[in-house]
Amino acid sequence: MNTSDSSILSIDVAQIRGILVDFIRKEVNRTGFDCVVIGLSGGLDSSLACYLAVEALGSKKVLAIRMPYTTSSQESLEHAHLVIQATGVMSMTIPINGMVDAFIEKYPEMNAFRKGNIMARSRMIVLFDQSAANNALVVGTGNKTEILLGYSTLYGDAACAFNPLGDLYKTQIRQLAKAMNLPDVILLKPPSADLWVGQTDESELGFTYTEVDQLLYLLVEKHKSVKECELAGFKRDFIERVLTRIRKNRFKRVMPPIARITEGDAGLDL
């Protein structure tokens, strides 16, 4: 597989843009809320979600919140500020240092993974609190690649009221963001959750988004077998590693299972 060729993931950006803008507008109107809240990290996904929300609702109906921690890069704050300036959205900056440090100081042996989860969940506390304060819905910013691979924190960055980006692979997110004229500095920087100094998504995952998106497309959209993916040029160990991640993290993609005792379903709309 020529991983520089992402044509199989090409999208009609104008059509997708219209669908997502309409989706955001309908979700907000359907639930009777007034506006939306977005955790704006300065990364590609949250920046694109912000642009789409503004197009759907107008800048006065979008509250973007920056939530830096001690280890957050100044660059992330600056890039988020670029989006705030470009879109004209309402904004707040709420550091999470106190929330996070009050907990992790009790466990000095805590590793970076645990600390990262606490940061992600602390940020979601802030977002849902501001959701309540502003009669707003929290907009999700996770993409399909992250969702399939489980590259998110349950009840952290994965938590939201609705998600306009969840059916777009990272490669497609970049296409749409480019078409919507997001700042080049955001389009071109390495994807990172910015949970600790020097962290990047691809170094942590062990492969590039370009490569894994093409494999995921074959596995998920085309229902190709392992053998067929091998014939397409992917190494078997890479295929198995990706499949293991998808299967292992299924619990993050579904509602928690409930032991059934009665015939009534709590998830049923009446």
Catalytic residue flag (residue 146): yes
User: In the prediction, which pLDDT does 192 show?
Assistant: 78
Instruction: Domain ranges for the chain, please list them.
Output: 7-201
Say whether pLDDT at 20 is over 90: yes
Catalytic residue flag (residue 45): yes
What would the two tokens of residue 237 be? Answer: 């160990």
Q: How far is CA 49 from CA 57, 130, 224, in A?
A: 12, 17, 31
CATH no. of 7-201: 3.40.50.620
Give the chain's mean pLDDT. Answer: 93
Per cent of the chain over pLDDT 90 is 84
Report yes or no: 142 and 173 within 8 Å, Cβ to Cβ.
no
pLDDT band at 36 (very low <50, low <70, confident <90, very high): very high
User: In the prediction, which pLDDT does 265 show?
Assistant: 78
Lowest mean pLDDT among 115-119, 197-201, 208-212: 197-201
Catalytic residue among 12, 22, 34, 45: 45
C-alpha to C-alpha distance for 232 and 209, rounded to whole angstroms = 17
Residues 133-158 pLDDT 10s? 999 999 999 999 999 999 999 999 99
Catalytic residue among 146, 157, 194, 201: 146
Q: Which amino acid is at 152?
A: S
Say whether pLDDT at 213 is over 80: yes
- Other beta carbons within 10 Å of 55: 18
Cβ contacts of 173 within 8 Å, gap of 6 or more: 44, 45, 48, 143, 165
**Averaged pLDDT, 248-254:** 95
Report yes or no: 213 and 6 within 8 Å, Cβ to Cβ.
yes
Residues 61-83 pLDDT 10s? 999 999 999 999 999 999 999 99
